[in-house]
Amino acid sequence: MDFKQAIAQSVLDAVIKAFGESSLTAPEYEALLELPPDPAMGDYAMPCFKLAKSLRKPPVAIAEALAAAIDADYLDRAEAVKGYLNFYLDRATYARNIVNAVLDANGRYGSSNIGEGKTIVIDYSSINIAKRFHIGHLSTTMLGNALYRMYKYTGYNCVGVNHLGDWGTQFGKMIAAYKRWGDKETVQNGGVDEMVKLYVRFNNEAKENPALNDEGRAWFKAIEDGDEEALSIFNWFKEVTLKDAERVYDILGVTFDSYAGESFYNDKMQPVIDELAEKGLLIEDQGAKIVDLKDYGMPPAIILRSDGATLYATRDLAAIRYRRDTYNFDKCLYVVAYQQDLHFRQLFKVAELLGWDCAKGCEHVNFGMVSYEGQSLSTREGRVVYLEDLLNTSIEKARAIIDEKSPDLENKDEIARQIGVGAVVFFDLYNNRIKDIDFHWDRALNFDGETAPYVMYTHARCASVLRKAGELTDEPDYSALSDPDAQNVIRLIEQFPELIVEALNRSEPSMITRFSVDLAQAYNKFYYENRIIDAPPAVRAARVNLTKAAKSTIAIALDLIGIAAPERM
Ligand code: ARG
């Protein structure tokens, strides 16, 4: 039962009963309904001010007339307060409806098909070849993953793209370094670390011996010209990098539908450059080709450098066009740090100037920076935290906590992995994405804080209640869920489906993260205030069903943000 819809219909009936006719329809009344800030003011409220004109009565009188005329068995009462009509649902009916909605959904409560027929491209993680996967890429990876899951859950067709940073003159230098000092086995076994060493050595030696740079340039040209040896080394660098990254993606449970990165667009830029020229957008500036964006308060977008080289932006333009033609997307989200705000504003503006309709669907989902235990991270100064190390440390720490708190737990390794990874991901997705994050171990792994371990523990507590309860034989008496603590849990659960949609509209998975904490806290309060297992059978049945509903909703919320919910901890 959809209470908003039902109330709207009851209001319509009451208006006709009290005033003879209604100028508004039921859906229009539904749109007027609000959630009062305080449940003492009712479950829903309708301001009557908008009705004053058509009913030719002051709002206060309208609210009073409607409160008297309204009659519905799912309502406990309707009260008129200062021009508002406040609706109080019958507590037992409300509880039964919400709990059953969760149980009937079989683990998919809050899912929908609002996205049916629509396609969302999500560009996320987008790591760089021959660079280590460090915590600077955590947010893009986990935000993108969460958005991907949330869009899927609401029926959209999703395309997850890892737009690899696999183009640039540095790769010429790396090949030169590899040819001089590298050897196959060392790089194969040492992975990205070995490539980075080669690159650093190259840059150091080039200071003494500038001729090396010519060698680097020559190799880069060779890649561009499709030279067989250059390409095979370059592609092998890619393979090795991706193999390293794949380990991290495995730990995180993140996957992609496409790895088409910058180099994928090598042969797809010319048509875009031609189109820019045809449409009179491309102008010459000191040998370079640019699109002037002065009128929009932005520096020009450089399309071709004076030596004819293409740029990051040129590739991104080609990527928009390719994604449009390949996926016919409704939206294309770029989950990239706010340092690239200008880049994306320029990019979308150029797409719009080209008259590409799809530009409207392009959106930069930006986010803040991550620091670590109070220290900003800087590759240049050698202060980097590798994501794989961070995750493994977290798993070890979780394991130590388990060994201490639940030494008899089965599957300790697996559960330590779920808690350790969950703690990092949750910490990353807890605040509004635009905020900078300072990662702290004692906060991420605190079992009593607003953390993954706390929410996961609450889920495991629900599971334990259900194991102890066993099979239910009695009809639940839902009036046993009339107390404020049970009602708080129910109210939160009721709001979850709309919250998912709202979180998507704002590209803000943190709303789901916070919801999981609110629900866990509400459930724990209910748990401490009420007897469950040893309550009379009909009461027990109702409280156990509420526990089932809370458990399922917590698990869904965690799953949407990419976190597991173990049955035992
Ligand atoms: N590789 C880039 C970086 O690490 C992010 C790429 C984002 N995606 C894009 N289409 N530009 O900063």
50 within a domain of the structure (yes/no) = yes
What local confidence, expressed as pLDDT, does residue 376 receive?
82
- Is 154's C-beta closer than 6 angstroms to any atom of ligand 1? no
Answering whether pTM is above 0.85, one says yes
Residue nearest to atom 8 of ligand 1 (CA): 163
- Among residues 89, 114, 137, the one where a domain terminates is 89
**In the β-sheet with 331-335, what is the strand arrangement from edge to edge?**
157-161, 119-123, 331-335, 362-365
Residue nearest to atom 1 of ligand 1 (CA): 165
CB 125 within 8 A of CB 137: yes
Which pLDDT band holds residue 360 (cuts at 50, 70, 90)?
Answer: very high
> How does pLDDT run across 459-509, given as a tens digit for each residue?
999 999 999 998 888 999 999 999 999 999 999 999 999 999 999 999 999
486 within a domain of the structure (yes/no) = yes
pLDDT at 116 over 90: yes
- Among residues 89, 110, 128, the one where a domain terminates is 89
Helix pair 312-327, 341-353: axis angle to 10 deg: 60
d(CA 32, CA 19): 19
CB 432 within 8 A of CB 510: yes
CATH code assigned at 539: 1.10.730.10
> How does pLDDT run across 266-320, given as a tens digit for each residue?
999 999 999 999 999 999 999 999 999 999 999 999 999 998 899 999 999 999 9
Share of the chain above pLDDT 90, in %: 93
> How does pLDDT run across 369-420, given as a tens digit for each residue?
999 998 887 766 777 889 999 999 999 999 999 999 999 999 999 999 999 9
Strand intervals (E) in 380-510: 437-439
Average pLDDT, the chain: 96
> Which residue numbers are catalytic?
131, 134, 137
Per the structure, the count of domains in the chain is 2
What local confidence, expressed as pLDDT, does residue 378 receive?
72
What local confidence, expressed as pLDDT, does residue 375 receive?
86
Q: What is the DSSP letter of 430?
A: S
Q: What is the DSSP letter of 122?
A: E
Pocket test for ligand 1, best of 126, 129, 159 (most atoms within 8 A of CB): 126
CATH code assigned at 25: 3.30.1360.70
What are the φ/ψ torsions at residue 320 (nearest 5 degrees)? -60, -45
74 within a domain of the structure (yes/no) = yes
- Quick one: tokens of 295? 């009128």
Nearest atom of ligand 1 to the alpha carbon of 337:
12
What local confidence, expressed as pLDDT, does residue 473 receive?
86
Distance 519 CA to ligand 1 centre (A): 35
446 within a domain of the structure (yes/no) = yes
For the segment 253-271, the average pLDDT, to the nearest whole number, is 97
> How does pLDDT run across 141-153, given as a tens digit for each residue?
999 999 999 999 9
Q: SS in 3 state form for 200-228?
A: HHHHHHHHHCCHHHHHHHHHHHHHHCCCH
Which pLDDT band holds residue 1 (cuts at 50, 70, 90)?
Answer: confident
Q: Which domain holds residue 522?
A: 423-560
What local confidence, expressed as pLDDT, does residue 472 receive?
85
Distance 40 CA to ligand 1 centre (A): 49
- Is 10's C-beta closer than 6 angstroms to any atom of ligand 1? no
- Quick one: tokens of 154? 């609401």
Residue nearest to atom 4 of ligand 1 (CA): 127
pLDDT at 130 over 80: yes
429 within a domain of the structure (yes/no) = yes
Nearest atom of ligand 1 to the alpha carbon of 165:
1
- 3-state DSSP: the chain helix, strand, coil percent, rounded to 5? 60, 10, 30
510 within a domain of the structure (yes/no) = yes
Taking the mean position of all CA atoms in its chain, how far away is CA 216?
40
Pocket test for ligand 1, best of 124, 340, 343 (most atoms within 8 A of CB): 340
474 within a domain of the structure (yes/no) = yes
What local confidence, expressed as pLDDT, does residue 380 receive?
67
Token look-up 């000092």 returns 181
> How does pLDDT run across 27-46, given as a tens digit for each residue?
999 999 999 988 889 999 99
11 within a domain of the structure (yes/no) = yes
